[in-house]
Structure 1
Amino acid sequence: MGIGGMSLRGLMQKWLGPDAAEMARITRMRDDASPRGYVQVEVERPSGALCLMFFRHADGSWCVFPPCDRAARQA
């Protein structure tokens, strides 16, 4: 994981609170051989469902924003 990066569990706790693992359901994921992947997490709240996408970056850290596409950045 990159410097300052966060694990998926840590990021979920940051956004959803300390009980994130018990409250959240993974509703979609991509975890193949490439260094990038994503996980969609859904939490039911009194105000309705909350859905968040967590993206794995090339350095192994997780963020709520997708990694930059190097080809698009160089164009």
Structure 2
Amino acid sequence: MEKAERSLRSMVEKWLLMAPSVSVRVIRGNRVGSNARRYVCVEALQSADMFAIYLFRQGDGTWEVFPPDAERQAMSVF
């Protein structure tokens, strides 16, 4: 998937199946972990149903519903 297709807006539209009657807002955003990765919680309200998803910023700047892999220590051989 191209980077433009994984922007925060496109991921919210994909996962919450945006419709004109849906009210969407970011209810929480912060940094988490020792590497300060960003995340947001997006809430959608449609009639009596409420949905919320967490989206995590990946190392390449895109957004996904899964947290990025933890960076692991590696050994180098010279």
Could you tell me which runs of 5 or more consecutive residues in structure 2 were left unpaired when the two chains were aligned.
Answer: none
Question: After TM superposition, which residue ranges in structure 1, 4 or more long, deviate above 4 angstroms?
Answer: none
Identity across the alignment (%): 32
Could you tell me which runs of 5 or more consecutive residues in structure 1 were left unpaired when the two chains were aligned.
Answer: none
Aligned length: 69
Secondary structure of residue in 2 paired with 1:58:
coil
- Aligned-residue RMSD, C-alpha: 3.0
Q: Which residue of 2 aligns with 1:54?
A: 55
Q: What letter is aligned with 1:42?
A: E
Question: 1:14-29 residue pairs with structure 2 within 5 A?
Answer: 14-19=14-19, 23-29=23-29
User: What is the TM-score normalised by the length of structure 1?
Assistant: 0.70
1:11 pairs with 2:11: yes
User: Which structure is higher in strand share?
Assistant: 2
Give the structure with higher Rg (CA).
2
User: What is the TM-score normalised by the length of structure 2?
Assistant: 0.68
User: Which structure is higher in helix share?
Assistant: 1
